[in-house]
Amino acid sequence: MSNAATDNGQLYKTACTLMPGGVNSPVRAFGSVGGSPRFIDHANGSTMTDVEGNRWIDYVCSWGPLILGHAHPAVVDAVQQAAVKGLSYGACHRYEITLAELIQKHMPHMQMLRLVNSGTEAAMSAVRLARAATGRSAIIKFEGCYHGHADSFLIAAGSGALTFGTPSSPGVTEGAAKDTLTATYNDLASVEACFKTQENNVACVIVEPVAANMGVVLPNEGFLQGLRKLCDQYGALLVFDEVITGFRLGLGGARVAFGVTADLTVLGKIIGGGMPIGAYGGRKDLMQQIAPTGPVYQAGTLSGNPVACAAGIATLSILENENPYPKMQRLAQMLSDGTKQNLNDAGIPAALNQIASMMTLFFGIESVTSYAEVMKADAKLYGRYHAAMLQAGVYLAPSAFEAMFVSAAHTEDDIQKTLDAQKNAFKSIA
């Protein structure tokens, strides 16, 4: 049987006969870095091991949510205890209340919230609620920010800030595209221009407070505050997509980190310890418009899955009680400082954006504050770097425009081994 194979190449060949591109999410295919994907057999702490026995220090961390590392004993124990009671009820249970209370404790602006199954579902539902609450149709998103694969979000920028976008994927209709305006991240003037074209028809602005799906791009000073002011001025809601930053920047998320409160907040699988879950929430008057207390329909058999909730309770409790944030910040700073030194020694121009325990290295450019600047980075050089680091035992995202994540399971030894591998990798690609 194919699942008995212990060779990455053979597994990939088999997978390609069963799934588009051999993967269940496009970036896993290694298409932008060359080579073929590795098939993971198991993971623990800061490392992953593939079916061939190759072991890597992992900086993908399931794209961010494994803030405690892989298979944290307390999280695994919580999952096991919940699983033996039943994998799914399709009914109410205590875990979902406890998890909601933990989230609200640290994000009190989420006066009420709804658990769902993914970040995509949470973002889609938040936008539907914003449209219903305001009676408006249009939304403003930002080029380079990713909010899942719902139709409203798969929109490319138009010919300028004054135009609606166009579908960026076949299957997305012109009708869906006409209700989405695309602005430039860190450019308040482009946002106001969008508002002025549809002054009485913009339901919300949705934004990653720290962009992390075009690589880590930090908000300029005053940008998020400016969005809050514009939304208030034009009667629109501000939606923070914190699928990446929620509980990664800190327990309070972007509200605490930047002093800006959104009307609605979207969270992802970090609230389930990496298991499939998401949430959206905000002001009580808005959330009470969700069925069954209001007319805005949203439902899901697996919403608030007990096993995922148990994993989330364990994860958030550890973050609260053990406070690994200073350690992760220290290790991320060590990695950032060492990377800058290695770049300087190798004579390789690059920008390194870092905040808290997440960062991105952009080759060939000096600074990055927008999607247009991201697109100037040398993705081919990153591909060579990725291959060299993979060979040296360091697993990075198979895309030049993703984040690296440091977890509570990483150690100083992990960071030093990474920097040593990186130094040699830079020499090989310079």
Both structure tokens of 374: 């991201």
| C-alpha to C-alpha distance for 416 and 422, rounded to whole angstroms | 10
The alpha carbon dihedral of 71, 402, 348, 389 has a sign of positive
Q: How far is CA 293 from CA 61, 90, 94, 252, 289, in A?
A: 37, 19, 20, 28, 6
The alpha carbon dihedral of 135, 138, 144, 147 has a sign of positive
Nearest to 156 by CA among 172, 138, 137: 172
| C-alpha to C-alpha distance for 334 and 111, rounded to whole angstroms | 37
**Residue with tokens 């209001």, as numbered in its chain:** 294
- DSSP letters spanning 355-413: ETTEEEEEET-S---SHHHHTTS-HHHHHHHHHHHHHTTEE--SSTTS-EE--TT--HH
Q: Which residues are catalytic?
A: 146, 241, 269
Nearest to 117 by CA among 258, 280, 1, 297: 280
240: left (phi over 0), alpha (psi -120 to 50) or beta: beta
SS3 53: coil
To the nearest 10 degrees (0 to 180), the angle between helices 379-391 and 412-429 is 130
Nearest to 348 by CA among 395, 381, 375: 381
Residue 180 makes CB contacts below 8 A (sequence gap 6+) with 138, 139, 140, 141, 152, 153, 155, 164, 165
Both structure tokens of 312: 């989330």
